[in-house]
Amino acid sequence: MTFEDLGLSPDLLGAISEAGYTEPTPIQAQAIPHLLMGRDILGIAQTGTGKTAGFTLPMIEILAAGRARARMPRSLILEPTRELATQVAENFAVYGKNHKLSMALLIGGVSFVEQNEKLDRGVDVLIATPGRLIDQFERGRILLADIKILVVDEADRMLDMGFIPDVEKIMKLLPPLRQTAMFSATMPSEIKRLTDSYMMNPRKVEVAPAASAAETVIQRLIRVRGGIAEKRKALRDLIKSENVRNAIVFCNRKRDVKVVDQSLRRHGFNAQALHGDLPQSVRTATLEKFRAGEISILVASDVAARGLDIDDMSHVFNFDVPMHADDYIHRIGRTGRAGREGHALTLATSADDKYVQQIERLIGTKIGEVSTAEISDEVVAAEPDASPLEEKKTPRKRSSSRRKPAQKTETKTDAAPDAKPVAAAESQVKKPGTKETQPQKDQRRPQQKESKELGMGDHVPAFLQR
Ligand code: AMP
């Protein structure tokens, strides 16, 4: 299957090939023909499957004919977070480079003046978060009567964030004769109700969800006795003892994102926080610095990090065990991409047992455990007083802290033969997919037994293999 086979125009094909894509991903191959025919679709797919191009490409094609009137956008894309909205806008700019479509972003944290000027000129594509859109609508700044295409992206995340009433309110404001595409990684009953009420006989297109992490992700569980202070110490020890290049540290609460970030920085680590309370400009700048390697550790909440297209991360640390097992898969999927080795380390106290069990049920295997004592020993054995990701206040002479995990085993074994080395613990970890334990009750994910990464189906784009 090629993009030509999907019936896209030469202008669009040119932009796609400049983006470096050689073939459509499974979700694109399924969704694009339906959308080009004007049908409603329900896409069961999550970030990483190429779903954004799956709806932006046909939208560009459909909107190419026609012109927008002042304050009456012709299409609307709803996103749960500002970051996702911004990413979709970036996608539009790439794929729409040979078209003259206008686009506006309606998200919190961006000045009203700038947004209003754009809306007044007329936009073909409006990308918005639900709250800001309703706000602008209620101020009379925007009319929704000309919307021909609606996309609701990450619907299950909208649900988690309490946005469904807003989404429903918006759907009621739109003309009934329109095309609707909804994307969701899962189908909770509330989303099903929305699709039944506001979509016209939608075609269901589906790619297997990533019920297992990539085999290249080495997962470990670190049992911590105590509370948040002990967890912070364990996190520092882990960062020091691991061969960390760059990492995301996930916390369940915004409050803890701030605390952990400050604590890491106080201890000299090159960290920054990413959470929903930060001004948009700060969030964007932080992400850019992280992508550029100027920041090594991003401390983030699930919501802030959801869908961020940051590849090639060496480590994911779960400062907290996520309360939803799905989030665990999302989090650890940030590392071990495109065949590279990645590490996912989860700190757990006894209060987390229930959540750990849920995760292990979902991934179908037990996560190998390491104790904090082993890590502390490891830090001492490796390098007593320096952290690999320290901000460079004083020049570092040694590079030996960036040891390979295999070397680490030897060091540790030499230093303290009676203690179990971290790397040895790793070898006992059954990676997801190579499980012996079968998932118990959770049958939602039919592809669970597959041992490969399922996010893009069998498709691994050529550019990812480079
Ligand atoms: P998404 O799931 O839309 O967030 O896309 C995930 C990543 O896949 C993004 O970095 C896209 O640029 C990339 N991508 C989308 N479509 C293709 C394709 N057909 N071939 C290769 N990469 C793609």
Domains defined for the chain, CATH in brackets: 3-206 (3.40.50.300), 217-383 (3.40.50.300), 416-450 (no CATH)
DSSP-based three-state secondary structure for 274: strand
Summarised one tens digit per residue, pLDDT across range 447-466 is 333 333 333 333 433 433 33
Does 418 score more than 60 pLDDT? no
- Under DSSP, the state recorded for 2 is -
Atom of ligand 1 nearest to the CA of 25: 19
Closest Cα to atom 12 of ligand 1: 50
Q: Residue 49 has what pLDDT? A: 81
Helix (H, G, I), strand (E, B) or coil at 205: strand
pLDDT at 380: 54
Cα–Cα dist 41/149, whole Å? 11
Residue 32 Cα to ligand 1 middle (Å): 14
What integer pLDDT is reported at residue 436 of this predicted model? 32
Mutating to test ligand 1, I would choose from 2, 4, 21 the residue with most ligand atoms within 8 A of its C-beta, which is 21
Predicted local confidence at residue 388, as pLDDT: 45
> Confidence band (pLDDT; 50, 70, 90) for 338?
low
Is the minimum distance from the CB of 309 to ligand 1 under 6 angstroms?
Answer: yes
pLDDT band at 442 (very low <50, low <70, confident <90, very high): very low
Report which of residues 37 and 304 the model is more confident about: 37
Instruction: Give per-residue pLDDT as tens, 99-119.
Output: 999 999 999 877 888 888 999
- Average predicted confidence (pLDDT) for the chain: 79
Which of these, 237, 243, 239, lies nearest to 377 by C-alpha position? 237
Nearest CA to ligand 1 atom 19: 24
As to burial, measured by CB atoms within 10 angstroms (0-12 exposed, 13-18 middle, 19+ buried), residue 376 is middle
**Residue bearing tokens 């390098």:** 383
Q: What is the pLDDT of residue 376?
A: 62
* Mean pLDDT, range 380-394, rounded to an integer: 47
Between 108-112, 237-241, 253-257, the lowest mean confidence (pLDDT) is in 108-112
Read off the pLDDT of each residue in 53-58 and give the average, rounded to a whole number.
98
Q: Whose CA is nearest to atom 23 of ligand 1?
A: 50
Band (389; pLDDT cuts 50, 70, 90):
low
The 10s digit of each residue's pLDDT in 136-167 is: 999 999 999 999 999 999 998 898 788 999 99
Q: Which of 145, 201, 152 is nearest to 173 (CA)?
A: 145
| Alpha helix (H) residue ranges in 364-421 | 372-382, 405-415
User: What pLDDT does 439 receive?
Assistant: 31
Kindly list the strands in the beta sheet with 203-206, ordered across the sheet, starting from the edge strand earlier in the chain.
103-106, 125-128, 75-78, 149-152, 179-184, 41-44, 203-206
Residues of the chain with pLDDT > 90: what percent? 51
Mean pLDDT of 50-70: 94
pLDDT in tens, 76-96: 999 998 889 999 999 999 999
Mean pLDDT of 397-424: 30
Nearest CA to ligand 1 atom 20: 21
Instruction: Check residue 379 and give its pLDDT.
Output: 58
Q: Give Cα separations from 224 to 83, 119, 361, 369, 401 (angstroms).
A: 33, 52, 21, 11, 24
Q: What is d(CA 431, CA 88) in angstroms, rounded to the nearest whole number? A: 33
Query: Does the pLDDT value for residue 410 go beyond 80?
Result: no
Token output for 362: 């979902």
Q: Give the range among 299-313, 335-349, 419-433 with minimum mean pLDDT.
A: 419-433
| Confidence grade of residue 45 (pLDDT, cut at 50, 70, 90) | confident
- Residue 393 predicted with pLDDT over 50: no
Per-residue confidence (pLDDT) for residue 428, from 0 to 100: 33
Q: Ligand 1 in contact with 421 (CB < 6 A)?
A: no
- Give the residue among 295, 313, 298 at the shortest CA–CA distance from 392: 295
Distance CA 360, CA 219 (A): 11
- How much is the pLDDT for 243? 84
Percent of the chain surpassing pLDDT 70 = 76
Q: Tell if the pTM clears 0.85, that is, is over it.
A: no
Question: How far is C-alpha 138 from the geometric centre of its chain's CA atoms?
Answer: 31
pLDDT tens profile 171-211? 999 999 999 999 998 888 899 999 999 999 999 998 865 55
Phi-psi region of 392 (alpha: psi -120 to 50; beta: other; left: phi over 0): beta
Would you state the pLDDT for residue 209? 57
Residues linked to residue 347 through DSSP beta bridges, in sequence order: 222
Query: Are the beta carbons of 44 and 206 closer than 8 angstroms?
Result: yes
Q: Is the CB of 84 under 6 A from ligand 1?
A: no
Banded model confidence at residue 239, pLDDT cuts 50, 70, 90: very high
Has residue 340 got a pLDDT over 90? no
In this prediction, residue 400 carries a pLDDT of: 34
Cβ(50) to ligand 1 under 6 A?
yes
Residue 335 Cβ contacting ligand 1 at under 6 Å = no
Q: Give the residue carrying structure tokens 């080009």.
A: 36
